[in-house]
Amino acid sequence: MAKKRPQTKAAKAQLKDGPVPVVGAREPCPCDSGRRYKACHGRAAAQAVTELVQRPFEGLTGEGDWVALRELVPAATVELALKDGLPEGVPSVTLATVLPMAWPALRRDDGSVLLALQNDTSSGDLSRDLADTLRRALTAEPGQPVAAHRVPADGPRLQDLLDPAAPFTPVVHSGFEFWVPDAEHSSAEVTASLERANAAAIPTARLTGTDAAYWCETPEKNHLRWVMPHPEEKLLDALARLHAAGVSSLGEGTRLVGSFRAHGLTVPVWDLPSAMGAEECEKPAAEFAERLAAALADDAPLTGDERRARGGLTNRQVTLS
């Protein structure tokens, strides 16, 4: 049998002034500790990258709409404003639900930037991933997409880059023609991607009278999915009160069927008759918002019927992200 080597304590890290640069996992750590990077400062960096941020869009204007565009809406765009203004040569920055070939971002020929929201990301902080992609897109060569890559753990987040005073107003599209300013002269690859995306898109509309409420049409029935900012437990109590009282629907032929979680927010879902369009949802949704506000303000303990209603809603809750 081989002799055991005497165990020695690892050398104490000799920290330098300023941040420790990122190097290869098996390379010596730049802090001069004598250990490999992955066993020294790389360990903390890897943990920071993989740690899940439950509410990545918290603090951004329109948090509910950010969640909806990430999880619910097939085709939509939003004009973004940066804290420091647009760099020279970048006429606009537009958030898009998806881009052709699943590009994370695209710098168009005219210098404008499209940033995709629904792509897979490399870390547990979606906001940091998107901010890194945006920064790289601002300096990319015009006419070029931005590739995905591993994001530094200490990079900025969207909350650091976007103007908090600017409105966040999604524009929902029936298809993905916004991808290309001149579809007739697009490459065959982009054209094919556009056709596939349009064929799969579910008709969707954003209600104008309420925040982050989206109607969608499916073959058998329509739905209203409403991203709400209230704390989950308090919201479920309020929905249970309304459900037990028989006033949780949006009118005849509609019913509250459950909810799901997405990026730290709760999204109640209603089934709607196939004949009920987005415009027909506006008034019932506004009336429901008033009932919900009153229920949210009620701090009385739940009754037996309300607890049973809450249990039913909780059992039908699904977590998306």
Measuring CA to CA, how many Å separate 81 from each of 111, 211, 236?
A: 15, 20, 35
Average pLDDT over residues 291-304: 97
pLDDT at 51: 75
Tokens of 289: 């918002």
Q: Is 253 left (phi over 0), alpha (psi -120 to 50) or beta?
A: left
Q: How much helix, strand and coil, in percent to the nearest 5, is found in the chain?
A: 35, 20, 50
Summary mean pLDDT of the chain: 88
pLDDT at 21: 67
Tell me the pLDDT band of 122, cut-offs 50, 70 and 90. confident
In angstroms, the CA 257 to CA 35 distance is 55
In angstroms, the CA 67 to CA 126 distance is 11
Q: Walk across the sheet containing 76-80 and list its strands.
A: 144-146, 105-107, 113-116, 93-96, 76-80, 171-172
Average pLDDT over residues 238-253: 97
Q: Which residue has the tokens 């309420």?
A: 210
Q: Of 69, 51, 52, whose CA–CA distance to 267 is shortest?
A: 69
Tokens of 278: 């987005």
pLDDT at 149: 87
* 3-state DSSP assignment of residue 94: strand
Q: What does the DSSP assignment read for 259-302?
A: EEEETTEEEEEEEE-TT--HHHHHHHHHHHHHHHHHHHT--SPP
Cβ density class 46-59: b for 16+ within 10 Å, e for less: eeebeeebeebbee
In angstroms, the CA 55 to CA 63 distance is 9
Tell me the pLDDT band of 320, cut-offs 50, 70 and 90. confident
Tell me the pLDDT band of 219, cut-offs 50, 70 and 90. confident
* pLDDT exceeds cutoff 50 at 12: no
Average pLDDT over residues 160-184: 90
In angstroms, the CA 181 to CA 102 distance is 18
pTM above 0.85, yes or no: no
pLDDT at 13: 42
Tell me the pLDDT band of 93, cut-offs 50, 70 and 90. very high
Cβ atoms of 56 and 44 within 8 Å: the answer is: no
Question: Which of 98-112, 166-180, 186-200, 295-309 is least confident?
Answer: 186-200
pLDDT-above-90 percentage for the chain: 69
